[in-house]
Structure 1
């Protein structure tokens, strides 16, 4: 398995280089890692402070790690935060995040890269968020006696760790100083393979969405668009989601306003979306004015960074991705008590399963089922409020993972003095 791991990493690196001239994501990954160690050395050569290294695969993991990063910075203001990303969808969006002192792509996992990276950055502690399990980095951290924590980890029984041939990957998990799982089932799975350096902390995203809701940003143009009407908010939609949503939009265009925030906001994707919608009723955010936007029924968001605040204007929400690779963040909407709708691929997301069980979220397999389930909420007096109350209570009850992790970090530092 280790040989396959090494071959897979080398093949991945070669594939990025080959695809870079033709694929924007591969191009960004290659460009971001050019002269990587030279840039790292230059950034760290004058640093005398202790460093906490946070690693996130992409943007979703960043949002999970962010509450811990910010709590860490508050607790240890003299320490520096090093934030690394694997993917451009995280790095390119958050490369100017002011909560970190250094932000880089993570060099691809290899023995040489891990040694060189740690020689330069010299972290006091490392925190990997959710799914990040890199053999050589974890081995080198272990050899240097640097504590490394896995934050908001979640496991499923079909993962390689739990297979008969998964010894190599199980050895990776054993190198963590501690693994903080999101739920009981993940902890129980770890116990089946004798991984006991673990405990349940919960999902730090609950802490994050509560922070966001408490300091939500007003968007005057969106307020003018809503004009006091109920708003059906569509977040992180893909074309497959729009196929399911369009009949509902047409049927309820006189009852509701619709805000659509697609996952892809490049010009080609926005133009394709606009062609699917009624031109006279639809306006792009970048082309709208506060004076006239209330005349439209559909507002298309053609930028990034607004979604969590946009949900505060919603009455109902559809969260995209669950007709494709997987559901996007439902908690950003749930914290505002919005009845939720999404596609069928949500089983990897504990919070989505919880919300379905509570009767606050409604998975759908097609446009007809979406219409049917929406009508059951829309037309029943008092049901919206009942859902909102249960949803907000659920989010608040699940909070606290950040405080649990920070308490352990402080204890760990005291022990290591």
Structure 2
């Protein structure tokens, strides 16, 4: 591929997305939100010193978050700009208090990226994990802006490491330094001549470990739980819910409770889920003036509190592994909780692979496997304790990436 071909493709893709957005709610947010980006960035003055962070979505933002919050504290004279690619990240964190500007990253056309980089002129550009946009990287390189990758991860299947990947390989020269999660990523970069790389680990470990220091109390969860054995299923998709609802309806005993926090909280989807459950069920939005302890199932039809809810789990089920991709298992792991998740879409997540080997998690692919695992975990307290300790130790033993990156930054500013 050449730059000319890429620019034709990106323009065509953007045109198609604009048409599809007329009929798709998520893509409409993707398109209309970007129309506001440059207006939001007008809050940046030419005299401002800027640190810019870009994350694809919410999970990548959580990797940037410990860096952002440390820098905001130690370098208060700098303005923080945070951009997102996906609506699922932007819509949840658009009011993030530690950033001066939060907006969508403009679409990766030559014109957009010339304007974007010239406007914010960051002292340092932080790109999280794997967002490699050619025109953006060209502009960062052209303006000699210090650019680092944090919590990066590379795989052999990526075009950088193929015979036909010279176009994308050249874009990596925009990076002054690569902070990567594992030895595989480090060795792959070495194999194509990049030695400005260090294995720092994943900053999410620092983020989730710090969760233990905050106040995680939720009165409504305590009332619902009522000192009863509780399974908490977070970020579930319909594929996950089919298995969980089958267990609740056909196998769950009266002395176990369930909190479901679906990935999608559209009212019609929430009502469908509630209607599918034969046990007494209440929604978060219905909780006021009710005796929550009388219900066996609580469906959380709001966002932003799942991390705290996990602190009440005896067992956690994390969704996405049977659908589009596994969600964050480190949040329940940091509390020392045994974890179950779907066994199809988890292979891109190093923590999932590690914890399978360490036996802190179990994977399921159908109703029978989930039911067998849930029964085993409920009836075997020693198993729960062993798995939970494995998960907590794993998180604790992998902290430290944030400090390594901060030391580099402090030598750069």
Tell me the TM-score normalized by structure 1: 0.95
CA distance in 1, matches of 2:381, 2:90: 45
Q: Which runs of 5+ in 1 are unaligned?
A: none
Structure 2 distance, partners of 1:218, 1:170, is: 48
Q: Look up the match of 1:26.
A: 27
Q: Is the 8 A contact 2:338 2:388 kept in 1?
A: yes
* Matched residue, 2:284: 285
1:13-412, aligned counterparts within 5 Å? 13-34=14-35, 36-41=37-42, 43-45=43-45, 48-250=47-249, 251-278=251-278, 281-289=280-288, 291-344=290-343, 345-412=345-412
Aligned to 2:178, what secondary structure does the other structure show?
strand
Aligned residue for 1:123, secondary structure, equals coil
Contact 1:174 1:197 in 2 (8 A): no
**For 2:220 and 2:323, how far apart are their aligned partners in 1?**
31
What's the secondary structure of 1:236's corresponding residue?
strand
In 2, the alpha carbon distance for the partners of 1:122 and 1:410 equals 19
- What SS does structure 2 have at the residue aligned with 1:148? strand
- Counterpart CA distance in 1 for 2:138 and 2:196 is 16
Count of paired positions: 410
Cα deviations by residue, 1:235-255 (Å, 9 ceiling, x for unpaired): 000110112222322312413
Q: How far does residue 159 in structure 1 lie from its aligned partner after superposition?
A: 1.6
Quote the offset at 1:340 in angstroms.
0.7
Structure 2 vs 1, CA of residues 226 and 148 (structure 1 numbering), >3 Å: closer, same or farther?
same
Q: Deviations over 1:188-221 (max 9, x none)?
A: 1222222222111111111111122221432111
C-alpha spacing 1:281/1:4, structure 2 compared with 1 (3 Å): farther
**2-side partners of 1:189 and 1:215: how far apart?**
38
Contact 2:30 2:87 in 1 (8 A): yes
Query: 1:409 Cα shift?
Result: 0.8
What SS does the corresponding residue of 2:202 show, helix, strand or coil?
coil
For residues 321-365 of structure 1, give each alpha carbon's deviation from its aligned partner in whole angstroms, at most 9, with x where no partner exists.
011121000001111111111111211100011111111100111
Any idea what the Cα deviations from partners look like across 1:7-39, whole Å, max 9, x if unmatched? 332122112210222111111122112254344
> What is the Cα deviation at residue 4 of structure 1?
4.2
- How many Å separate the matches in 2 of 1:301 and 1:88? 21
Moved more, 156-165 or 305-314: 156-165
CA distance in 2: counterparts of 1:364 and 1:80, whole angstroms:
45
Distance in 1 (CA, whole Å) between partners of 2:324 and 2:152 is: 19
Q: Is the 8 A contact 1:179 1:197 kept in 2?
A: yes
- Pair 1:356–1:139, CA change in 2 (3 A): same
